[in-house]
Amino acid sequence: MAPNETKLIETLEKEMDFTPYEAKAYVALLIHGPLSPRGLNQKSGIPRPRTYDVLNGLLGKGLLVEQPGRPRLYAAVDPTIGLESLLKKYKKKMNRRIREKTKAANRLTSVLTDLYDESKGATREESVWVTRRDNALLSRYTNAMREIEEEMIVVSAAPTPPEEDILQAARDVLEADKTMRVLRPVTEQWSVEQLNEYEDLIARGDKIRHLDYDGLSFAVFDEKQVVLFIERRNTVWINMPELAEVLCSHFEDIWEKGVEAADRIREVKELLRS
C-alpha cells in the first residue's frame, strides 16, 4: 500500500468516522474503479466474509453505487457528491441528538435546580471553592455577574480580551443599571472588532481603564464574594467580606494609575492601521 494511500485511509477513519475496512474499501474503489466483491477483497485486503457488510455500509452512506449482474459491481460516487451527502447525514444525526439532549436537559433542569437550591442553603457563607477554568466556570462567572446588586470590580492581567459570554453578561449588567469597573491592559493582540466591542461597553456605561498590569487578577462582587484567577487553569471563589474589603482597597489604589480605556483603544487602533 502506497504511503499516500495509507495516510488517506487514516484520515477517513479519524476525520470522517469510517471504519478501517470502510476506509480501505472506499480508497480501493477510488483508485481501481468498479470492482466485484472478490476484486475488492484482492485489492484492499478486506477479509472475504466482511466484504458485503462493508459494501452495504458504504452504500448506506451514499458513497457507492452498484451495478446488478454476475458478478455484481460496485463503484465510488464522485467524492464531491458522496462526501457532501455524508456530511448532510452527519448534520441530521447531530441535530437530532442535540434536540434529544435539549429535551432531556429541559426535563431535568427544574428537578436538579430544586436539589441545588436546597443544598446551597446548607453551604457555609465563608467558604473557599476551587474550580477549573472551563465552560462550567464561565457559566458560573457570568451568572454571578448578572446577580450583582450594586457593583462589580475586575482587575485583569490578561493581554487578550475576555470571552464573548463575559461581554454579553457585562451588557446585561449595564442594562440593569448596575455598575462595573474594569482595570486591565488593552494590547495590540486585540483585533479591531474586539476593540469595537469594548468601545460599545464604554458607551453603555462600563467604566474601563487601561493599565499595564502583571499582578494578581481578581473580581469582587458587591464587596462580598471574591474570585481569584490563579495562573491559567484554576480559579478560587471565596465568600469572605474581609478579603473583599482588602481587594477593593487595593483596586482603588491601582485604579488611579489607569488611563481611560477609550483613549488607549484609539491608540491601539492607530497602531494596528500602521
Looking at the structure, give the CATH architecture of the domain made up of residues 3-77: Orthogonal Bundle (1.10)
pTM of the model: 0.59
For the segment 58-69, what is each residue's pLDDT rounded down to a tens digit? 998 889 999 888
pLDDT band of 129, cuts 50, 70, 90: confident
pLDDT at 237 over 80: yes
Per-residue pLDDT at 50 exceeds 90: yes
Give the range among 10-14, 136-140, 259-263 with minimum mean pLDDT. 136-140
> Mind spelling out the 3-state secondary structure of the chain?
CCHHHHHHHHHHHHHHCCCHHHHHHHHHHHHHCCECHHHHHHHHCCCHHHHHHHHHHHHHCCCEEEECCCCCEEEECCHHHHHHHHHHHHHHHHHHHHHHHHHHHHHHHHHHHHHHHHHHCCCCCCCEEEEECCHHHHHHHHHHHHCCCCEEEEECCCCCCCCHHHHHHHHHHHHCCCEEEEEECCCCCCCHHHHHHHHHHHHHCCEEEECCCCCCEEEEECCCEEEEEECCCEEEEEECHHHHHHHHHHHHHHHCCCEEHHHHHHHHHHHHHC
CATH of domain 126-273: 3.30.870.10
- Residue 63 contacts residue 76 (beta carbons within 8 Å): yes
Give me the residue spans of the domains in the chain.
Answer: 3-77, 126-273
What b-and-e string marks burial along 208-241, b requiring 16 or more CB atoms within 10 Å of the CB? bbbbebeeebbbbbbebbbbbbeeeeebebbbbb
pLDDT at 73 > cutoff 90: yes
